[in-house]
Amino acid sequence: MSIEYLKKATLTSRSDASDVHETVRKILEDIEAGGDQTALDYAAKFDKYDGPILLSAEDIAAACDLVPDKLKADIRFAQGNVRRFAEAQKETLKDIEVEVVPGLIAGQKSIPCRAAGCYVPGGRYSHIASAIMTVTTAKVAGCDHIVACSPPRPGVGIAPAIVYAAHIAGADTIMAMGGVQGVAAMTFGLFGLPKANILVGPGNQFVAEAKRFLFGRVGIDMIAGPTDSLILADANADARVVATDLVGQAEHGYNSPVWLVTDTRALAEEVMGLVPHLIADLPEVNRQSAEAAWRDYAEVILCGDREEMAATSDNYAPEHLTVQADDLDWWLTRLSCYGSLFLGEETTVAFGDKASGTNHVLPTSGAASYTGGLSVHKYMKIVTWQRATQAGAKPVAEATARISRLEGMEGHARTADIRLAKYFPDETFDLSANG
C-alpha cells in the first residue's frame, strides 16, 4: 500500500528561514577589522554583560562551588560515559602503511587539530550536555587547546553548571561570550587565544550562519537546523511511551519536527489522542514550544509493512531515530539514514542527549543522508605520506610522466623525467604521451 498521512505538517524546518546572512556578515567583518574591542562592543550590545570574558581559575572555582554535589555527580557520570565512548571511537583510527608496489611505501596517520572552539548554547536552556559532548571529544582527540564559549547572562555570567561541565571535560579556556561575537573571537584568535582550527557545537540561526560563513577558513562540525526526531513503532509499542517521547522532543522549539511512522492505525490514533494531553501537562515555557511544533511540524504516517516504514524513515533521514518495534536486529541492519539510533523502548533520545555516551551534536534537516554527527573523528585530520626506493620510484615515474603529458602538464612530467635520468642514467625510457 502507499503511505497515508494521518497528520501532515503545514510547515517544514526551512519555512521560517530568516535572512540573517547580511547581519552575520557585517558582525564578522567588523570584529575581524576591529579586534578585541569590537567584539566587546558587540558582547555588551547582545549579551548585555560586562564581566570577565576569559574566566580565571578563581572564576571557575567560584562557579563550580555553586553547583550542587548531586548535579556534579550527574555531570561526572555523563562526562565519563562520553569520554569512554570517544576513546573507543579513537581506537578505530589506526596509523597504517602499505607497500603499494615493491619499493614504494604509502601510509596514513591521524593528527588532531591544534585548536578547537566549542560553542555551548546558554539562552533559553543551559546546555550542560553540549559542554560535555563538545569539549570531551576534543580532549580525547588530543587537541592542544580547547576553548569552551558560552553566552553569559546579564549580571550573572555563564551558568555555573556549564562552567563545571566544561572544566571537568578539559577546556583550557572558558569564554563568556555568545552568538556571532563568540564564534568570531574563537575563529580570529581574539583575547590572546589561539585561532581555532575547527568550530563545533549547536547554536541559534546566527551561530549556524556564522559557521557557514567561516567554513573554509576553519573546519566545522556541521550547519545545524532545528532538531528533529522520528519514531518507528509497530503494534506492540506502548502508545503512551511513544507519545511521551514525541512530546519530549517537540519541546526543543516551536519549529522542531517530530514524526511517527507506523504500520498500525490503532496505535497511531491512540498516540494522536494522547499527545495534546501530555503537552498540556508541561510547564508553560515548554508547553508553548511543544504545542507549536506538534501543530505545525509534526507528522503521523501509516505504512503497509516494516519495509515501507524503514524506507520512509530513510527518506526523512532524521537526526534522532527511535525504534519501538519487534526484531530490533532487523531494524539495525536495515536502516541507513539517521544521526543517532535508539533501539527499543528501554532507551530514548533524551538518554543520548544527556548522559548515555553517544554524542548529541547530530545532523538535522535530512543531512543524515550523507553525514554523521560529532565524534572524536571530526577533530582528526587523516593525512597520508609516502617514501620510495629508487627502484620503487621507477615504474611510478614512468606512469606519471606519460599520464602528465597526456593531460598536457609538461612540468609535472619533467619532475618524473629528472628522477629517471638521475637514478637510471644508462636506461632509455619512452615517456611520450602515447608511449
* 319 tagged catalytic: yes
Are 47 and 152 a contacting pair, CB within 8 Å?
Answer: yes
Q: List, in sequence order, every residue forming a beta bridge with 34; answer none if it has no partner.
A: none
Return all residues near 190 (Cβ < 8 A) that are at least 6 apart.
Answer: 31, 35, 36, 39, 184
209, 251, 291, 319: the active-site residue: 319
Torsion angle defined by CA atoms of residues 235, 237, 241 and 244, in that order, rounded to the nearest 10 degrees: -50
CA distances from 95 to 104, 197, 307, 385 (A): 17, 22, 39, 11
360 is catalytic: no
Catalytic residue among 320, 360, 407, 427: 320
Which string of DSSP letters, residue by residue, matches 64-111? HHTS-HHHHHHHHHHHHHHHHHHHHHHHT---EEEEEETTEEEEEEEE
The alpha-helical segments, DSSP class H, found in 216-281 are 239-250, 265-280
Which of 109, 116, 165 minimizes the C-alpha distance to 138? Answer: 116
The helix or strand, by DSSP H or E, that contains position 22, with its residue range, turns out to be helix 21-34
Closest by Cα among 381, 199, 233 to 301: 233
How far apart CA 200 and CA 1 sit, in angstroms, is 43
175, β-bridge pairs: 54, 149
Crossing angle of helices 21-34/205-214, nearest 10°? 60
> What does the alpha-carbon distance between residue 286 and residue 254 come to, in Å, rounded to a whole number?
10
d(CA 346, CA 428) in angstroms, rounded, equals: 72
Cell 519530549 appears where?
A: 248
Assigned C-alpha cell, 43: 558582547
- Round to whole Å and give the CA distance between 3 and 311: 11
Q: Which residues are catalytic?
A: 319-320
